[in-house]
Amino acid sequence: MLFLPIFVFAQRKHQAKLKHKSVSAVPAANLSLSFRVVPLGVLGGIDESNLSAYMIAPVGSDNYACLDAGTLHAGIEKAIENKAFSVRGDKVLRQYIKGYFISHAHLDHISGLIINSPEDSTKNIYGLNSTLEIVKTHYFTWESWANFADDGGSPQLKKYHYSVLQPGTEIPIDNTEMHVQAFPLSHSNLTSTAFLVRNKDSYVLYLGDTGADEIEKSQNLHKLWEAVAPLVAAGKLKALMIEVSFPNEQPDKTLFGHLTPRLLMNELDVLAQLSGTTLKGLNVVVTHLKPPYKSISKIKTQLNYANKRQMNLVYPRQGKPLEF
């Protein structure tokens, strides 16, 4: 609770007001906090000490899932520095993280897992079949790294178990109180993944790298918005974690399966329409901003300017816990 960010209070106050004013904003139902998210890495490139990885657990629990694993060690150390954890780093890695969810096999989403594998404990690596196949055939191979997993090149050290997610089927996350459902995303030549994490009756939706439907010539985001619209309408979606990699000036042909502020807002217009809400007050955690710094500050300016829906835009910081 010590680290409860100000925006949570701001949103509570705001939602309390909404009750009397509006019927179409995100409902004020269930104001209690459900999830704690500890960002271990937040950037979309260049800085290998701060790449996409987010620990998530029910508030009060130490049983975390790790959504992507671009940076582990440096992020855990930063979190301990910030007093997000009161145990040693090796305990966070080995005991608190119960499993990894890899959205896609680009190095900025998995290199922390590979590098930390010798010190890690036995657990699951979850992902769509296409993602896990790449991990199996390109990383844990005995050619690029020892095979710490239970499939692929021999001998298999069997520290990690590959757990294949079927799109649209919810499964429990082993050794945690949470459940998860996977949805495919379009990310240039790759299939990326969105993970819908559930704790009791509350949800957080985390998206790996994704392009916009209009650019990717895809329906994947539209289908995802259709699936979560009822949760938004019921006030059960506590946070949406989604990437914005480039500022609006980036030409379409060099987006490589990523979003800009303009493209994000277009997509969220679809979610608003499907859910029949304004999205006002919805926590939107903006991930994967790509350096240089100048570009990151431009993205923030453009997003804040384009936030006509008055969503609660959150820019996560490495090692600083968030609660939703």
> Tokens 């993280």 sit at which residue?
97
Q: Which residues bind Zn ion (CB under 5 A)?
A: 106, 108, 209
Report the residue number, 108 or 213, with the smaller CB distance to Zn ion.
Answer: 108
Which structure tokens are listed for 217? 């010539």
**Smallest distance, Zn ion to C-beta of residue 224, A:** 17
235/316 with CB nearer Zn ion = 316
| Interacting residues of 176 by C-beta distance below 8 A, sequence separation 6+ | 57, 61, 63, 64, 65, 98, 99
Going through the chain in order, the beta strands assigned E by DSSP cover 35-41, 53-58, 64-67, 97-101, 123-128, 160-165, 171-172, 179-187, 190-199, 202-207, 237-243, 283-287, 312-314, 322-323
**What minimum distance in Å lies between the beta carbon of 240 and Zn ion?**
18
Nearer to Zn ion, 131 or 278 (CB): 131
In angstroms, give the least distance from the CB of 156 to Zn ion: 27
**Smallest gap from residue 69 Cβ to Zn ion (A):** 12
Nearer to Zn ion, 231 or 255 (CB): 255
Question: Measured from the CB of residue 208, what is the shortest distance to Zn ion in angstroms?
Answer: 7
| Long-range pairs for 148-157: beta carbons < 8 A, 24 or more residues apart | 148/117, 148/118, 148/120, 149/125
Contact 205/240 with Cβ under 8 angstroms? yes
Angle, alpha carbons 230-239-65 (nearest 5°): 110
Rounded to the nearest whole angstrom, what is the least distance from the CB of residue 264 to Zn ion in the complex?
15
Shortest distance (Å) from residue 243 CB to Zn ion: 7
Residue 128 near residue 193, CB atoms below 8 Å? yes
In terms of CB distance, is 279 or 289 closer to Zn ion?
289
CA–CA distance, 42 with 149 (Å, rounded to integer): 26
Identify which of residues 106 and 280 has a Cβ nearer to Zn ion in the complex. 106
Give the torsion sign (CA, 127, 131, 137, 142). Answer: negative
Query: Of 290 and 309, which CB lies nearer to Zn ion in the complex structure?
Result: 290
Residue 109 Cβ vs Zn ion, minimum distance, rounded to whole Å: 6
Closer to Zn ion at the Cβ: 258 or 309?
258
DSSP notation for 212-244: -HHHHT--HHHHHHHHHHHHHHTT-EEEEEEE-
Confirm if 99 and 172 have CB atoms less than 8 A apart. Answer: no
As measured in angstroms, the least distance from the Cβ of 63 to Zn ion is 26
Nearer to Zn ion, 96 or 246 (CB): 246
- In 3D space, the residue among 54, 53, 52, 56 whose CA is nearest the CA of residue 36 turns out to be 56
- Six-digit token string for 178: 């949470």
